[in-house]
Amino acid sequence: MEEPTAWRRCSACKKPIALGAVYWACNVSTCNQKRTALVFCTTSCWEVHLPGANHRESWAVERRAPTKPDSASASKPAPAVAARPAESRPTRRILVSPPTAKKKTEDVPREVLIVASRLKDYVRARSGYNTSDRVLAPLSDIVRQVVDQTIENARRDGRMTILDRDVPDR
């Protein structure tokens, strides 16, 4: 039997946190309860949970994972939720298409994605030039290409959320 090397997975990016490795935890007690037990591989991953957490004041606390796998947790019985009959268990509903499915091109909206006033202000401040409204459609196409690549990068990592690290380098 192979010895496990991962202690847990990061709560944000789902990368494994190795046994004995440094990890980060939120200082807020609701994030550290036994049921929640949020752990993060980096402070960047810790920052990802902040917008949804609505903490008034929080910081990341550096901790070290145990050096040996917890043998007590392996012998614990399954939680009560798993022991309920299948018909009484809540069903999981996925409201979005699975990561492997691609929508047809005609189903995707072809609206302008660029805010005209912001673009015009930027061009004027940067160069003093004026901007034609006909520039918005080609720039929106470029944004769509970058976003499509970003979606593919998130899909490749097995996530349903695109992150800043998924945006391709220029």
- For residue 46, give Cα distances in angstroms to 18, 21, 162: 17, 16, 16
- Give residue 6's Cα distance to chain centre: 20
The per-residue pLDDT for range 37-59, each reduced to its tens digit, is 889 998 888 888 887 777 878 78
Domain count of the fold of the chain: 2
Kindly state whether residue 135 falls inside one of the protein's structural domains: yes
**Each residue's pLDDT tens digit, 55-91:** 878 788 889 988 887 644 443 433 433 444 444 444 4
Could you tell me if residue 86 is inside a domain? no
Domain assignment of residue 40, yes or no: yes
- For 132, the token pair is 């034609």
Whether pTM > 0.75 for this model: the answer is: no
More confident residue, 154 or 34: 154
Q: 136 is in which domain, residue-wise?
A: 105-166
Partner residues linked to 9 by β-bridges? 16
H helix or E strand, kind and range, residue 8? strand 6-9
Domain assignment present for residue 77? The answer is no
DSSP letters for 53-110 = H--SS--EEEEE--SS--HHHHHSPPPHHHHS-GGGSPPP---S--TT----GGGS--
In this prediction, residue 122 carries a pLDDT of 94
Average pLDDT along the chain:
78
Tokens of 34: 């036994």
138: buried, middle or exposed (CB in 10 Å: 19+, 13-18, 0-12)? exposed
- Determine contact, residues 59/27, Cβ cutoff 8 Å: yes
Tell me, what's the pLDDT at 102? 59
pLDDT in tens, 103-120: 666 677 788 889 999 999
Could you tell me if residue 31 is inside a domain?
Answer: yes
Q: Has residue 109 been placed in a domain?
A: yes
Asked whether residue 91 is domain-assigned, the answer is: no
The answer to whether residues 111 and 61 belong to one domain is: no
